[in-house]
Amino acid sequence: MMPDVGACSEDCLFLNVWTPACDNAKRPVMVWVHGGGFTIGSSSQPMYDGAALAKRGDVVVVTFNYRLGIFGYGFFRDVLGANAGRVDSNTGLRDQLAALRWVHANIEAFGGDPENVTLFGESAGAMSVGALLAAPSGKGLFRRAIAQSGAAHHSLSAEHATQVAARFMAGLDATVQHPDALWTATPEALLEAQRACGSEEVALGPAGKRLPQTGVTLMPVVDGDVLPQYPLTAIERGCAADIDLVIGTNAEEWNYFLFLMDPKKRDIDIPALLKVCERRVPGHGAAAVELYRDELGPEAPAWKIFSAVETDKTFWAPAVRLAELQARHNPRTFMYRFDYPSPLFQFQMGACHALEIPFVFGGLATAFGRAFAGEDPAAQPLSDAMLSAWTSFARSGEPGDEVAGAWAPYDSATRRTKRFAEEVTALSDPRPAPRLFWDGLR
């Protein structure tokens, strides 16, 4: 599913820099956080090549690696007793902060401006951006943020993170009294125990609006240190008021997972759909099915309804919530929706998860870009518009320019949203019924 990550090594905490010139031009700096569900991926993947973005946008582009899986997000404070000091919390986020500190200290030598850094990322990378908005130790390290298909919902409470860590330890037959298996286990055993963590059920979302989550359960933790409080709560209180923000999602995010990871779900019928939605949205499954059947039409197959529910639950509703809260404190908050469809599976993939990446990076000619975006000539002007908007935002805090067109800020009254498709347009309060459904969920 993921393109080539290149050579693998325990010595993996590298970063990459692309610059038009090592001069004193003080260009905007764009620091990318790669995705992969906090467990896979690498900044060395060809889809993240920053050459075109740096050259065409006249910016300095930085990508980096950070620790993943149990090494990045295992939370052992409350399951290791006296041994807890041997393992830090949130080491994946700590690596991201270390990369930002390196940029701040060194990027001027590469023609960049350390006082004009934009942090951007996709999926788990965007969720990391959402977490770092709330990290006190990130203050002053970036001025702007772009969150593509991720927001500030995906962080665990210490209680749920402890539950996941306990499952991991059980998979290695490790206990508080006998923790040695943690230090001596083979890579294969570590991975097997890590996979078992995915079957744990945890809760995501702000207090009073939590939803059950399985599958990806290793993620940033509210540890009282790197993250003193739940990110969305901190953002609601204004902790990121000085950060300009662009946030958005793709129209059919979940189709990526449905077609490439969970194809059996494409065979479900309506009774099965009702059951799975009730598990994913307890107490509201039938209402969700009815809402999305009305929106998609009575002929929509069950898999398409399921995908729409998961797209909004995981990506769109959290993005709207973050935009709402940030806009209260910073008027330079902008929202987008990416609607360009992939030709894969006879266009059934739609505007799936990760499809916007080659458009932003100017990478339509890469293997990932060709495979997912196809050869339609209309794709290049759209890529030009997105690359220009992203670099304009990095330069000035305003994503609207003469290439991408005007882009009005987001606010709770108009909910203005930029739509990126074959034709770039502006929307006002798109899809109010699903928005109200997810906002009222308790």
What CATH number does the domain containing 19 carry? 3.40.50.1820
Of 122, 200, 236, 253, which is the active-site residue?
A: 253
d(CA 80, CA 77): 6
Q: What is the pLDDT of residue 207?
A: 79
Q: What is the pLDDT of residue 381?
A: 97
355-371 per-position pLDDT tens digit: 999 999 999 999 889 99
Is 381 part of any domain?
yes
Q: What residue ranges in 167-219 does DSSP mark as E strands?
A: 202-204, 211-213
Q: What is the pLDDT of residue 112?
A: 98
Q: What is the pLDDT of residue 31?
A: 99
d(CA 328, CA 333): 9
Distances in Å between the Cα of 418 and the Cα atoms of 102, 178, 334, 359, 393 are 33, 55, 8, 15, 14
Residue 321 lies in domain: 15-257+312-439
Is 10 part of any domain?
no
d(CA 80, CA 83): 5
Is 300 part of any domain?
no
Domain count, the chain: 1
Q: What is the reported pTM?
A: 0.97
d(CA 87, CA 89): 7
Is 269 part of any domain?
no
The mean pLDDT value of the chain amounts to: 95
For residue 178, indicate whether it is catalytic.
no
Q: What is the pLDDT of residue 442?
A: 64
Residue 262, pLDDT > 80, answer yes
Of 43, 44, 89, 123, which is the active-site residue?
A: 123
Q: How confident is the model at residue 81 (pLDDT cuts 50, 70, 90)?
A: confident
214-234 per-position pLDDT tens digit: 999 999 999 999 999 999 999
For residue 123, indicate whether it is catalytic.
yes
Of 353, 383, 388, 392, which is the active-site residue?
A: 353
Written as one letter, the residue type at 174 is A
Q: How confident is the model at residue 151 (pLDDT cuts 50, 70, 90)?
A: very high
Cα angle vertex 100, ends 96, 102, to 5°? 115
290-330 per-position pLDDT tens digit: 999 999 999 999 999 999 999 999 999 999 999 999 999 99
Is 385 part of any domain?
yes
The count of other CB atoms within 10 Å of the CB of residue 420 is 25
32-56 per-position pLDDT tens digit: 999 999 999 999 999 999 999 999 9
- In the block, which residue shows the tokens 């995906």? 154
% residues pLDDT > 90 (the chain): 90
Is 368 part of any domain?
yes
Q: What is the pLDDT of residue 290?
A: 97
